[in-house]
């Protein structure tokens, strides 16, 4: 399977892939990383900054999930739960492709662009 993170054409050290859910990103180093010994703490700091932005925009909870099963390249999912959503935790994450998702808001898209510039993250759609 092709690595969806290294396939993004960029000189930036990190890649964030967006999906249809408002605020949801997958983030990884652009360079192939399959061992935690090679995992960058700068990536964790950038992810923390994105989680804080999601909270500022009203996320009730931001889930951090690291599975790396389909893509062995180490990556994190940052998955917000917005106020009023009935599902929580893993159930909400598992429903990401089977239930209607809150669409990206212009304010959060703008925040994503500013965050990406600050943290040197190339943003692409998954």
Other beta carbons within 10 angstroms of residue 91's beta carbon come to 9
Separation of alpha carbons 60 and 39, rounded Å: 28
Residue 109 inside a domain? The answer is yes
Residue 72 domain-assigned (yes or no): yes
Q: Is residue 15 part of a domain?
A: no
* Domain-embedded: residue 17: no
Buried b (16+ CB within 10 A) or exposed e, 24-47: bbbbbbbeebeeeeebeeebeebb
**Can you give the pLDDT at residue 34?**
87
Helix (H, G, I), strand (E, B) or coil at 90: helix
Longest dimension (CA), the chain: 40
Looking at the domain assignment, is residue 113 inside a domain?
Answer: yes
d(CA 30, CA 60): 29
**What is the pLDDT at residue 71?**
76
Rg (CA), the chain: 14
Q: Give the range of the structural domain holding residue 45, as residue numbers without chain letter.
A: 27-125
* Count of domains observed in the chain: 1
Q: For residue 118, give the H/E element and its range.
A: helix 106-119
Whether 18 is in a domain gets the answer no
Residue 22 lies in a domain: no
Asked whether residue 1 is assigned to any structural domain, the reply reads no
CA angle, 27 then 43 then 49, to 5°: 85
Taking 50 as the pLDDT cut, the residues of the chain under it are none
| The pTM of the whole model exceeds 0.75 | yes
Phi/psi at 71 (5° precision):
-120, 110
């Amino acid at each position: 399977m092709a690595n969806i993170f290294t396939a993004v054409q960029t000189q930036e050290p990190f890649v964030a892939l967006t999906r249809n859910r408002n605020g949801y990103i997958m983030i990884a180093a652009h360079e192939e990383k399959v061992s935690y010994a090679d995992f960058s703490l700068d990536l964790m700091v950038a992810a923390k900054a994105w989680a804080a932005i999601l909270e500022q925009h009203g996320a009730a909870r931001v889930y951090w999930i690291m599975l790396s099963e389909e893509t062995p390249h180490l990556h994190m999912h940052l998955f917000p739960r917005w106020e009023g959503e009935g599902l929580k935790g893993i159930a909400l994450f598992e429903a990401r492709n089977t239930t209607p998702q809150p669409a990206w808001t212009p304010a959060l898209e703008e925040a994503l662009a500013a965050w990406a510039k600050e943290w040197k993250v190339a943003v692409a759609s998954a």
